[in-house]
Structure 1
Amino acid sequence: MAVASVTYLTRLAGYIALRNRTLSPRIVEVMEAAPGCVLISVIAPHFVSDRPADLAALAITLFAATRLPLLATVVIGVCAAGLP
């Protein structure tokens, strides 16, 4: 919950700080992609995990991400991570 809150507050702070400025389309794209970059930095350490359950959940989620829409991938990832 804390990671989600910080990610959201980071995005919100950027919009508040730049609300009175005219932004180029490129800057708008960067602003919209930044939360995804933060999320990747949270997930990336699991790629080097030595726990087989984490690696299996990661593999299942990556496989789902290549074939399914985002909502289905998230549900499958959460379920895979919750399995013992």
Structure 2
Amino acid sequence: MTLDPQTLLAILAMAVATAATRIGGLVLFGFLTLDRRQKRAMEAIPPAVLMAVVAPTALATGPAETIAAAITALAALRLPLLAATALGVAAVAALRAMGL
């Protein structure tokens, strides 16, 4: 298997851009003072991004995926993101096993 140098360069550039964005955000937040309302808004971003990425596929594939996406969205209102995601994975597996 060969790796095209341009492909490798693109992958490395994307990795650097991703790392720089994350580090920049952490540095920026060190200088900010957020009130309670702003903190809640920031905490809502990860589940919102997850649903924005997952929803198009979940709604276009089948009933098991659609139901599991709804379960995950509801769970994300109360549970940490990792727990809600794990619940969604378990739900889609169970629903597929039931034949949906």
Matched with 2:53 is 42
Gaps of 5+ in 2: 1-17
Matched with 1:3 is none
Q: 1:30 to 1:44 in 2, by over 3 A?
A: same
Q: 1:33 to 1:10 in 2, by over 3 A?
A: farther
- Tell me if 1:29 matches 2:40: yes
> SS of the residue aligned with 1:74?
helix
Over the residues paired in the alignment, what is the CA RMSD in angstroms?
3.7
Equivalent pairs counted in the alignment come to: 71
Gaps of 5+ in 1: 1-5
Runs of 4+ in 1 over 4 A off after TM superposition: 9-13, 62-66, 80-84
Give the distance between the partners of 2:89 and 2:35, measured in 1 at CA. Answer: 32
TM-score when scaled to structure 1? Answer: 0.53
Identity %: 27
